[in-house]
Structure formats: structure tokens, C-alpha cells
Amino acid sequence: MTALNLVGLFLVAVMVPGAFARGGLPSCCRKISDTQVCRDRLIKYYRQGPPSCALHVVVFVTIKGKRICADPNKSWTQDSMKYLDGKNRHAQKLGTQRKRARCFT
């Protein structure tokens, strides 16, 4: 191997563990939680699944930054997703109206 290849391998070996530690690469839910949180404490959600992660789950993020791995088929999960979608849609609408008002003044 050339010296350049060795330097490249060394950099990868040093940087990858650091990226995992800082959350640079996604961390997957390993089990589904039974925890149900008041919807007002949720700020967003995203779906997790293959090929990145083994489980199909909905991951909710709370105000405090905690992750809750929820079963996508449960009614609590679906209701909470609808709630957050409606909340975000309403916030986007308000932001658009404000931008338009600024443009015309």
C-alpha cells in the first residue's frame, strides 16, 4: 500500500468512532417503547426503518430532546403524528401569511 492509502485508512479509523459519539450517524431504536407522552411535550417525529435500521418505528422527539420509539400501528402513535402534522401545518401557514404581509408593506 502506498503512504497515501495508509493515511486515508488512518483518518477513517479515527473519525468514524467520533461521528458515532457525537450522533453524526443515525442511532436506531432497538425496541419499541410503551411510553405515551402528552402531545404538548412532543415537537417532532420521524420514521425509522430498513435499510438504515432493523425496526419499523415512529420516533417522537420531546421538548427535552428525548426519543420515544413508538409502534406505528398503535392509535396513540397515529393520533400524535396527526397532531404534530396539524400543528406544523398551522405554523407554516402563519409564517407564509407574515412573509406576504411584509412583502406588501
Task: Kindly report the CATH number assigned to the domain that includes residue 95.
Answer: 2.40.50.40
Give the number of domains in the chain: 1
Q: The domain containing residue 91 runs over which residues?
A: 28-104
pLDDT per residue over 50-90, tens digit each? 999 999 999 999 999 999 999 999 999 999 999 999 887 76
Distance CA 89, CA 95 (A): 10
pLDDT per residue over 13-52, tens digit each? 545 454 444 444 458 999 999 989 899 999 999 999 999 9
Helical segments of the chain, H only: 3-22, 75-104
Q: What angle do CA 9, 13, 15 make, to 5 degrees?
A: 115
Does residue 8 or residue 65 have the better pLDDT? Answer: 65
With left for phi above 0 and alpha for psi between -120 and 50, is residue 57 left, alpha or beta?
A: beta
Q: Is residue 99 part of a domain?
A: yes
| pLDDT (0 to 100) of residue 88 | 73
